[in-house]
Amino acid sequence: MSNPYLENSPHFGKSKNRHAPVPYADGRGGQATIPQGYEPQFESVQQSYYGPDAGPQDTGRMTYEDVIVRTAGLLALVVGSAAAAWFLVPMEMKFVAMWGGLIIGFVLGLVNVFKKEPSPPLIMAYGVAQGFFLGTLSGFFEMMYPDIVVQAVGATFVTFGVTLALFRSGKVRVTPKFRKIVMIALVSYAVFALINLGVMIFTDFGGAFGLRSGGWGLAIGALAVVLAAAVLVMDFDQITKGVQNGTPRRFAWSAAFGLVLTLIWLYVEFLRILAILRGD
């Protein structure tokens, strides 16, 4: 007894009239007739020959749509976990959630950066951890400076849109010199950020922002925003090359991870800049 699903499927069901003449395209704009006794397997060969070329979706290659869908999904995960941390975590646990999300997100970020193959579960776990960090951090800033979160989110996506438009116009290109300068600046910024974190934890210098207070903090913040925008340009360039080179579709997760990582960095920088501007 055969499977009812396969029996009713057009791909597995029996042909109603196996030996009846079947019309098919002759490749010259007309039609011909398949002779009796024509084996069905040859029909698939004929359709492949005269059919449309296989696209990226048919060959398992990464497309821009793959990157957009995964990036949107990862951002939704970040926003969802951020909302949960903001509204559901009790006040006495918010500092734990913030530092826990920061540390776990940092560790998962490093793991994902150095993995040769993308791991969707690890990338999504990173999104959840960062969401908890951002949700609690944003909640604290919002209590001190109402509407600052909306302003920071708006500034982040405006920067993203302007950077993407400049990249697509060809006015900003990634050259070896550009890449070298950005990498040197990134390493320098990372060293400064670690030093500033130590100052914030172990000393009272500069208040809540450490070495990034006042006018000096605004200057560092502006440089960080420019640097993050330059990293976005490099992200766009790598995604473009990946699509052109036929990168396997699974690496769309890597592209989404890179974009979300940079967007989170941009958001935190704008949050800090706005807080300094609105502080007494």
pLDDT digits (tens, 9 = 90+) for 3-59: 333 333 333 234 444 444 445 444 455 555 544 544 444 444 444 444 444 444 545
134 and 188 inside one domain: yes
Residues 6+ apart with CB under 8 A from 62: 56, 242, 243, 246, 247, 248, 249, 251, 252, 255
Are residues 117 and 19 both part of a single domain? no
235/113 Cα distance (integer angstroms): 13
Instruction: Looking at the structure, tell me whether residues 40 and 93 fall in a common domain.
Output: no
Give the pLDDT of residue 59: 59
How confident is the model over 108-120, as pLDDT tens digits?
999 998 888 899 9
Indicate the SS3 state at residue 33: strand
At residue 91, the pLDDT reads 85
> Of 12, 27, 51, which closes a domain?
51
Q: Whole-prediction pTM value?
A: 0.75
Q: What is the predicted pLDDT for the residue at 207?
A: 66
Question: For residue 191, is it within any domain?
Answer: yes
pLDDT value of residue 45: 41
- The rounded percent of the chain whose pLDDT value lies above 90 is 54
pLDDT above 70 for 206? no
Domain total for the chain?
2
22 and 134 assigned to the same domain: no
State yes or no: pLDDT of 80 exceeds 80.
yes
Which of 81-85, 196-200, 202-206 is the least confident region? 202-206
The reply to whether 99 and 141 lie within a common domain is yes
Looking at the structure, do residues 136 and 259 belong to the same domain, yes or no?
Answer: yes
Residues 24 and 73 grouped into a single domain: no
24 and 100 share one domain:
no
| 11 and 120 belong to one structural domain | no
Range of 91's domain? Answer: 62-278
Tens digit of each residue's pLDDT (9 = 90 or more) over 150-164:
999 999 999 999 999
Let me know if residue 57 belongs to a domain.
no
259 within a domain of the structure (yes/no): yes
